[in-house]
Chain A
Amino acid sequence: MEAMLEIVDVVTTYGKIEALKGVSLSANRGRITCLLGPNGAGKTTLMMTVAGVLKPRQGSIKLEGNELVGLSPARIVGNGVALVPENRLVFPQMSVRENLLAGAYQRKSSGEVAADIEQMYTRFPPLKERREQLAGTLSGGEQQMLAVARALMSRPRVLLMDEPSLGLAPIVVKEIFGIIAELNREGVTIFLVEQNAHLALQVAHHFYLMEQGRVTFSGTPGELAEDEVIKRAYLGTRRSAG
């Protein structure tokens, strides 16, 4: 099993606060790797660091051996890593179609881009229905689909997803996770941050637990009892109070 994305000893700070205190983990090719943990653990910080929006103070992030640290977010997209950010971050005043075009910004062949857009419409029928509608008027679930589709437009080899289930109704979440599983079957390597431990464990091949800027557990679903995982994902490991 080879590592597609290898994160070694990454430290990211906000001023004086160390949000990531030396995180090491890897996402294997063709697999779904999941990162769980309570709020404030640093999961989004890690995603933003991998995506290049935040610069780590030290550590390395390699994609198939190529160093990503220090590259601009646009270059990282160019290298094949796309992030579906927390809270979707669609462009509200632009249409669904324009959002998709934005995701394809770096691609050269407009013919291929057009074909891919059609493919997105097939995969996500609500987007086709609303293709000229402003993204800000879409429902939460539709925006999530749009955010995923936009990221896919760059034909990434690794898809990063930050809390895709956030704020969505259970039925919609099931749909999204269905899409995640489908994408993975087609060969996309997926690295997923989730709060919904139960669902995440159902799709993940491997998962990590993160607390307070550090990885505290690494293993496969089943290695740890699910309720133990859920407990740690929401509450963290036992710590003395106060």
Chain B
Amino acid sequence: MDDHLTGILSNIGVISFVALSAYLLLLTGEISFGQQAFFAIGAYTAGIVTAMWQLPFWLGLGAGAAAGGAAALFVGLPTLRLHGLQFAIATLAFAEAVRILFELFRYQVVRDGEPVGPNGIEGFRNIRYIFEHDVSATQFMLIIYGLLGMTLFGFFLLERSRLGVAFRMIGQDGLLAAAQGVPVFRVKLMAACLAGAIAGLGGGLYAHLTTYVEPAIFDVMLGVHSLAYGLIGGLGTAFGPLLGVVIDIGLLESTRWFAGYRMIVFGGLVAVLLIVRPRGLLDERLVHRIRRLVSRRPPPAPTNAAVLGEEPS
């Protein structure tokens, strides 16, 4: 497989993690502009574990995911009781604060006569575990997609579990869900932790893919993009955010069709798309219909909340 294609596919794979992270929170009705912070935390943690402490790759990834989840828990506790927009801005403030903190963060050790480690604004270079251990680009891509596949499988299980139903219930109507006995805050916190861990995992993969991370990468743009992917691709299924990533990075970045005008075209397309389909391409209705076709079983009756949440036509 040619390197260019491998690179793009790997990129898509890694960014999908942070898109899924924002999506998970969206399911519970929370808008987060800050998932890139956990992506960053995962990236730096994984890099420190492998490049500086010379520990195995999987440990690095695990640490990245754990760090992401822990940070999410830490931030989620005071903020999840906030209402929609306040929460969104709080996540933005948090993520930007994290980014600035990484600009100030210096931690270096000497390996083979060279200093290695995060160096403030200059970032963290030489996260070369993959290359030092002879993993080819294609192999790493497969690792990325393997992990992505496992994450998607996790989502698949989640959608069918009580927890997943609780997520969507809260997303539709938090008061109604609470009235039904759902421990709303705890469930949201769980969603936040999972989302943080997913982003952290993605960050760890990203760091090793590019071998170099710097704070500037983890900016507001990345955060809003992650959110946008789910909203463009559709909120009905975990494939929605993936679709969004594919459309942005796959279609537009790699084809040099609209070089120079790419964002103008993409931006306009997204705006028009959202007029026609405010819940994205693969929205709940479409996914519901696809599932009916596939399973050929009568669908469960839609809840009042689900129906009343839509605009009167």
Contacts and interface: CB of A to CB of B under 8 A. Distances in A.
Judge A-B direct contact (beta carbons within 8 Å). Answer: yes
Interface of A: 12-17, 19, 54-55, 57
Contact of B311 (A12, A15, A19): A15
Q: Among B308, B312, B313, find the residue whose CB has the most chain A CB atoms closer than 10 A.
A: B312
Q: Among A15, A16, A17, A19, find the residue whose CB has the most chain B CB atoms closer than 10 A.
A: A15
A54 B310 CA distance: 13
Nearest to B312: A14
Contacts of A19: 312
A12 B307 contact: no
A10 to B, nearest CB: 13
Contacts of B313: 13-15, 55, 57
Contacts of B310: 14-15
Interface of B: 302, 307-308, 310-313
A45 to B, nearest CB: 8
Nearest to A13: B313
Contacts, number: 23
B74 to A, nearest CB: 38
A15 B172 CA distance: 15
Given A14-B307, A15-B307, A17-B308, 13 more contacts: A13-B312, A13-B313, A14-B308, A14-B312, A14-B313, A15-B308, A15-B310, A15-B311, A15-B313, A16-B307, A19-B312, A54-B312, A57-B313
A113 B312 CA distance: 35
Nearest to B309: A15
Contacts of B311: 15
A14 B307 CA distance: 7
Nearest to A14: B312
B285 to A, nearest CB: 9
Contacts of A17: 307-308
Contacts of B308: 14-15, 17
Contacts of A12: 312
A55 to B, nearest CB: 7
B310 to A, nearest CB: 4
Nearest to B310: A15
Contacts of A55: 312-313
Q: Among A14, A19, A54, A55, find the residue whose CB has the most chain B CB atoms closer than 10 A.
A: A14
A17 B305 CA distance: 12
Contacts of A57: 313
22 contacts: A12-B312, A13-B312, A13-B313, A14-B307, A14-B308, A14-B310, A14-B312, A14-B313, A15-B307, A15-B308, A15-B310, A15-B311, A15-B312, A15-B313, A16-B302, A16-B307, A17-B307, A17-B308, A54-B312, A55-B312, A55-B313, A57-B313
A137 B308 CA distance: 31
A16 B312 CA distance: 9
A16 B310 CA distance: 9
A15 B302 CA distance: 11
Nearest to A17: B307
Contacts of A14: 307-308, 310, 312-313
4 closest Cβ pairs, A-B complex: A15-B310, A14-B312, A15-B307, A13-B313
Nearest to B306: A15
A14 B313 CA distance: 6
B49 to A, nearest CB: 50
B288 to A, nearest CB: 11
Contacts of B307: 14-17
A61 to B, nearest CB: 16
Nearest to A53: B312
A74 B308 CA distance: 25
A81 to B, nearest CB: 20
Contacts of B312: 12-15, 19, 54-55
A15 B288 CA distance: 15
Contacts of A15: 307-308, 310-313
A207 to B, nearest CB: 26
Nearest to B302: A16
A51 to B, nearest CB: 13
A13 B310 CA distance: 10
A55 B311 CA distance: 11
A14 B310 CA distance: 7
A57 B302 CA distance: 22
A174 B29 CA distance: 45
A210 to B, nearest CB: 18
Contacts of B302: 16
Nearest to A49: B312
Contacts of A13: 312-313
A164 B95 CA distance: 50
B210 to A, nearest CB: 45
A57 B312 CA distance: 10
A15 B310 CA distance: 6
Nearest to A48: B312
A85 to B, nearest CB: 16
Q: Among B302, B307, B311, B313, find the residue whose CB has the most chain A CB atoms closer than 10 A.
A: B313
